[in-house]
Structure 1
Amino acid sequence: MQQKIHQGRNIKRFREMLGIKQEMLAHELGEDWSQKKISLLEQREIIEEDILKQVSEILRIPVEAIQNFDEEQAVNVISNTFNKEAFIGNSGAIFNIDPIEKLIQLHEEKIALYERMLKEKDEMMARLERLIK
C-alpha cells in the first residue's frame, strides 16, 4: 500500500529546516497571504502546482522535493544504513579522515554561510527600502 505524500507538511519541514517563519513566507508570497493562511496551507495534503512553484522559488528548493519527500522512507533508509553493522566493513575509512582538512572544510562552509546571510540581508534591506518609498 503506497502512502501519500503530504505536500503541506513537506513545505513546513523545509521551511523550518531553513529557519523561515510562516510570517516571512507569507510576506514573500504577497499581499493575499498571512501567517494563518500559511498555517492552513501546511495542513493541506495536496497543493496547487502554481503555489508549489512559488513556495519552491522562495525556499530555493526544487518543486519535486516538496512533491516527493517521504519522511517514513527517509527514516527507513537511515535506520537501515546507519547501524552497528554498517561500520564494520568501513571501519578503516573512519580513521582516514584528516582533522585539519575537516576543520578547513567547516571553516569554508561557515564563510559560505556568512556570505549567503549577508546577501540575504542586502536583499531584505533592498525590499524594505522599496516598501518605504
Structure 2
Amino acid sequence: MSDILTLSQIKVPGTARSKDEAIREAGQLLVDAGAVSPAYVDAMFEREKSVSTYMGNSLAIPHGTNEAKDAILRSALSVVRYDQPIDWDGNEVRFAVGVAGVENGHLEILGKIAIVFSDSDEVDKLLAAGSAEEVYRLLHDVNE
C-alpha cells in the first residue's frame, strides 16, 4: 500500500485567500496525486454545504460526501498551510487537510489527524515549520 501522505501532497504556503479557494487547493493536490478524480473536489464543496469541516485549532478537513466514494481511487491526504488565516465561516484556518479514504478509510485517517491537531504544541510546530519537508516529517506518522 502506498503512503497516504507524500511530500508532493503538501503545500507550504498555500495560495488560497478564501474557504472555497482552500477547498479547491486541497482537493487539487489529491487529484494531482492520482488519489481522486476531479468529481471528488465537487463533492468536497457539497459536503461543506451540509456541514462545516472546520475542526478547531486552526484546522479544516475538507472531504467529499459518501456519494462520492466512486471518485476515490486510493486513500490519501493533502495538507496546505496558510501564512495568513483563511476565514472559514467565521473561524481562522491555517491548515486545510484534504481527506480521501477508500472503504471508510477516511475515519482512521481523520482520527490520526485529530490526534495531532488536538495537541497545541504539535500545531505550533506545524505553524513554525519552514518547509513542506518539515511539515511532512511532523505528520509522517499518519502513514503508519
- TM-score, shorter chain, exceeding 0.5: no
**For the superposition of Structure 1 and Structure 2, which TM-score range results when normalised by the shorter chain?**
under 0.3
Larger radius of gyration: 1
Q: If each structure's strand is expressed as a fraction of its own residues, which one has the higher value?
A: 2
TM-score, with length taken from structure 2 = 0.24
Q: If each structure's helix is expressed as a fraction of its own residues, which one has the higher value?
A: 1
With a CA cutoff of 8 Å and minimum separation of 6, indicate the structure with the bigger relative contact order: 2
TM-score, with length taken from structure 1 = 0.25
